[in-house]
Structure 1
Amino acid sequence: MSARLRGIAKHTQEIVEIGHYFASDGRRVVIAPDLAAALEGTRMYGPESVPVTPDSDRTTVFDVTGESSTQAAQRLTAADAAPVAVLNFASARNPGGGFLNGAQAQEEALCRASALYSTLLRAPEYYAHHRADRDPFYSDRVIHSPGVPVFRDDRGQLLDAPYTAGFLTSPAPNAGVITRRTPEQAHRIPAALAARAERVLETAVATGYRRLVLGAWGCGVFRNDPGAVAGAFHALLTADGRFAGHFEHVVFAVLDRTPEGSTLEAFRRAFAGQLRP
């Protein structure tokens, strides 16, 4: 745990509570109206299937990049005003994971950069279910947080111009725990990933998004195989997949800090036939 990150988290929550902050030039930047709308609009979907009818009338642009989720969201937002949804690689039992304690993973980074944490507190039933049910497969529940103000960069610096992004909060199965404690159940992991990815995409369709930031979901501490995660999304988003042609732009933002870059490479291999030259 990092004392510096814990301090940023504390300051982020102070900004959320007062509804504004000051930019580098001294301007007062107000986020209160966007925050109020995000809190009011937060809903949980699933675990049952979300009734949607994806269309297939567009050619989806796919990118696999080495940037963070917020870098990708900011880039897409700067290019076009249409809303962007970011997949939050969530803790099933604790809102924001270890955000308040200075932990460093994707969910914690999202919460430090934005008002996401406060919206997650609006879905207590999601966390209550997973705390009561200790199954490391977790469930197909998804929290949608619309139009959340994002006001920090990856270094923790406040943005002179904040932007908004939707967040889809869903836990991947905890493959590490499953294979260690109940190895006889490990064969169920690919199907669980596929079903959960489908629920995430259903929620994105139901809430009106055409642009998504996905990534190496559950490939860190949860130890899911990057190829399996990439494959689950590839099957749903390409060729005869249920969501093929529905989304305009899908970015797999894979911030891979390993020397060999194997996680990023797994996504590039999976989408090699769809990436722009």
Structure 2
Amino acid sequence: MKHTSKPRRSKPKLTKYKGSGGAGRNERRALAKSTLEIIEAGHYTFEGIKYDLRSQFDAMLSGTHYYDPDSLSSWEQPVTPANELARDTPTEISIVEVSTLEGAGFLSSVPYASEKERRRRVGVLNFASAKKPGGGFQSGAQAQEESIARSSTLYPSLVSSTAEKFYRLHHKNPKGGYYSHAMILSPNVTVFRTDAGRLAAPMEIDVVTSAAVNAGVARRTLHGMVAGAAEEVRIAKAMKERMGRILYLFEEQGIKDLVLGSFGTGVFQNKVPVVAAIWAELLLDPDARFANSFDRVVFAILGRETFVEFKDIFEERQLTK
């Protein structure tokens, strides 16, 4: 992946990069325990340097915000005048075969074009469990949310009294796997581990936590059969609405660099071409609502089959522009 010092003015660049491997379940469980201990201590040492986590940790907790299901519903409205001024600066889009943390690391390492850019923020979408903060990261589970929770200070934000509303809502009514458009914003999250579990210099990200539609559950009827085409249309419609609100929240927060991915296509069984096509509709098409809202978007995708299938959709959309 080529580093750039400023947003490109050409068509989005599609690239790929081989991601890193993972640890075993027992090792991941031990890493989660160690992460919670570091958070409790409020500091850690890496390469002889002691890093204090407390100021950013306090900022994260005080800034944690819950968005109820009716929030951000106006996302389809025309862009603001401020964004209108940037209509000639298309988003640089990269599709890479890396983890979310690797994608965030790339965006954090892009050289600054000016002193103003030193205040740039990297936004990360957390593919959340609707009912369990951090998913199964403490038991050694391995998925996108677990990796973020195991490597950063995110978990205390998700179990805060503010964020608890998100999980209580979905426990009370999961809506047949559709869950809701509710979200949690966790700013100033500090990442201090690599995907492999090694300590690293701190990296700050802003995390939006959202649960995709659990399409596997939504497809099951009362009689245990798989629902038909009408249900697939309903799933896609709900996913587009949720994904539009996610982008709107990042836009409202003034976050210009994003790490997204193949949202909900793992355990939740959303179809990769459908999710890729929705992201393309929202970000890539000439009349896309968010075509010029961001400077850089990295789609970080692990799993060769998913990566190729996702990338192919974007390449097809580019050819038809």
Whether TM exceeds 0.5 here: the answer is: yes
Amino acid at match of 1:235: E
Q: Where do residues 62-101 of structure 1 align in structure 2 (5 Å cutoff)?
A: 62-79=93-110, 80=112, 81=118, 82-101=120-139
Identity of paired residues, percent?
A: 40
Matched, 1:38 2:60: yes
Q: Secondary structure at the match of 1:154?
A: coil
TM-fit CA distance, 1:40:
0.8
Among 239, 245, 257, the residue aligned to 2:292: 245
Amino acid at match of 2:107: L
Preserved contact between residue 214 and residue 252 of structure 1 (Cα < 8 Å): yes
Among 218, 221, 229, the residue aligned to 2:275: 229
Amino acid at match of 1:225: K
TM-fit CA distance, 1:48:
2.0
Q: Which residue of 1 aligns with 2:254?
A: 208
Q: 2 CA distance for matches of 1:134 and 1:269?
A: 33
TM-fit CA distance, 1:274:
5.1
Q: 2 CA distance for matches of 1:147 and 1:231?
A: 31
Q: Where do residues 137-148 of structure 1 align in structure 2 (5 Å cutoff)?
A: 137-148=178-189
Matched, 1:199 2:262: no
Q: 2 CA distance for matches of 1:152 and 1:110?
A: 9
Preserved contact between residue 90 and residue 171 of structure 1 (Cα < 8 Å): yes
TM-fit CA distance, 1:197:
0.2
Preserved contact between residue 62 and residue 274 of structure 1 (Cα < 8 Å): no
Amino acid at match of 2:307: L
Q: 1 CA distance for matches of 2:68 and 2:279?
A: 18
Q: Which residue of 1 aligns with 2:305?
A: 262
Preserved contact between residue 113 and residue 151 of structure 1 (Cα < 8 Å): yes
Preserved contact between residue 45 and residue 203 of structure 1 (Cα < 8 Å): no
Q: 1 CA distance for matches of 2:266 and 2:219?
A: 15
Q: Structure 2, unaligned stretches of length 5 or more?
A: 1-23, 113-117
Matched, 1:156 2:213: no
TM-score, structure 1 length as denominator? 0.92
TM-fit CA distance, 1:162:
0.8
TM-fit CA distance, 1:271:
1.9
Preserved contact between residue 172 and residue 222 of structure 1 (Cα < 8 Å): yes
Matched, 1:9 2:50: no
Q: 2 CA distance for matches of 1:7 and 1:198?
A: 37
TM-fit CA distance, 1:49:
4.3
Over the aligned positions, Cα root-mean-square deviation in angstroms equals 1.7
After superposition, the C-alpha distances for 1:97-154 in whole angstroms (9 at most, x for unaligned) are: 1011111110000101101111111211000000000321010011111120000001
Amino acid at match of 1:166: D
Preserved contact between residue 219 and residue 226 of structure 1 (Cα < 8 Å): yes
Preserved contact between residue 142 and residue 203 of structure 1 (Cα < 8 Å): no
Q: 2 CA distance for matches of 1:208 and 1:175?
A: 31
Among 218, 225, 228, the residue aligned to 2:264: 218
Deviates more, 1:75-84 or 1:150-159: 75-84
Amino acid at match of 1:47: P
After superposition, the C-alpha distances for 1:2-38 in whole angstroms (9 at most, x for unaligned) are: 2211110011011111110111x33211111111101
After superposition, the C-alpha distances for 1:162-214 in whole angstroms (9 at most, x for unaligned) are: 11001111011001111134625343110011000011011101111111100
Q: 1:264 to 1:218 in 2, by over 3 A?
A: same
Alignment size in residue pairs = 269
Preserved contact between residue 71 and residue 182 of structure 2 (Cα < 8 Å): no
Q: Structure 1, unaligned stretches of length 5 or more?
A: none
Q: Which residue of 2 aligns with 1:107?
A: 145
Among 205, 223, 243, the residue aligned to 1:165: 205
Amino acid at match of 1:143: I
Matched, 1:119 2:124: no
